[in-house]
Amino acid sequence: MSPTAPPPLAPRAALRWAVVRNLVRGIAPSTILELGCGRGGFGARLARIATYTAVEPDETSWQAAHDQITAVGGTVVHGDHHKTPDPGTYDLVCAFEVLEHLADDAGALQEWLPLVRPGGHLLLSVPADPERFGPMDEEAGHYRRYSAEQLGERLAAAGAVDIVLRHYAWPLGYALEAVRNRLASRRGGEVAESTVEERTAGSGRVLQPGARLTGLAIQAGIAPFAALQAVTPHRGPALLALARRPG
């Protein structure tokens, strides 16, 4: 893979990026902070849009993200949001598939929002529909899934305003989750022997495409589903939330 080519995205992440890309372009931020950037799949793309900084607590993921993102001018700090440089100055703060891993999600949002500059935006993604919580969520180290109402209430309680919520990944996301739930059920014993923290750290490393050609094939394969999700913002097993810090 070319050192300047973004790393390939797994199908669910590719569907998410199709929505996130348009939201970020609409905001047109000059500075972006990503919390828990994982291996840098989104970061390597966001760093091409604006001045980009990320924090990532898992050392293995941080090293992979560092290699990907610094090559395109971004910065990746090893640590959690408490290690964020220049808090309160970012036009856009993002956290993709992070909040559901935190025991105190309300407390996290109260600490995340002040990282945004006054008037700036917070962009989150989480798994949707609490009733869908299953083996895949257990294996990934999730504490919960969210309804749109629950996520909106938590953001409002943290002080966010102008909250916009939308579902994505319909209909392909349901099939992808069914496969992952089946695989996770077969590995149930391994999950039972690990901690939530260990499962969280490993969740971003599994089922990741490694080859550029694989990534291109995934991109082509999800293209019709990206078009479908664009016209079904109230359906799908995943949620995106865009909110603003009062300014």
pLDDT, mean over the chain: 91
pTM of the model: 0.91
Tell me the C-alpha distance between 241 and 15, whole Å.
Answer: 15
pLDDT tens-digit readout, 142-186: 999 999 999 999 999 999 999 999 999 999 999 999 999 999 988
Confidence of residue 208 (pLDDT cuts 50, 70, 90): low
Rg (CA), the chain: 17
Own/partner pairs, 186-192, CB within 8 angstroms, 24+ separation: 187/139, 188/135, 191/135, 191/138, 191/139
pLDDT at 1: 39
CATH architecture of 11-244: 3-Layer(aba) Sandwich (3.40)
Instruction: Provide the pLDDT for residue 215.
Output: 65
Q: What is the pLDDT at residue 7? A: 87
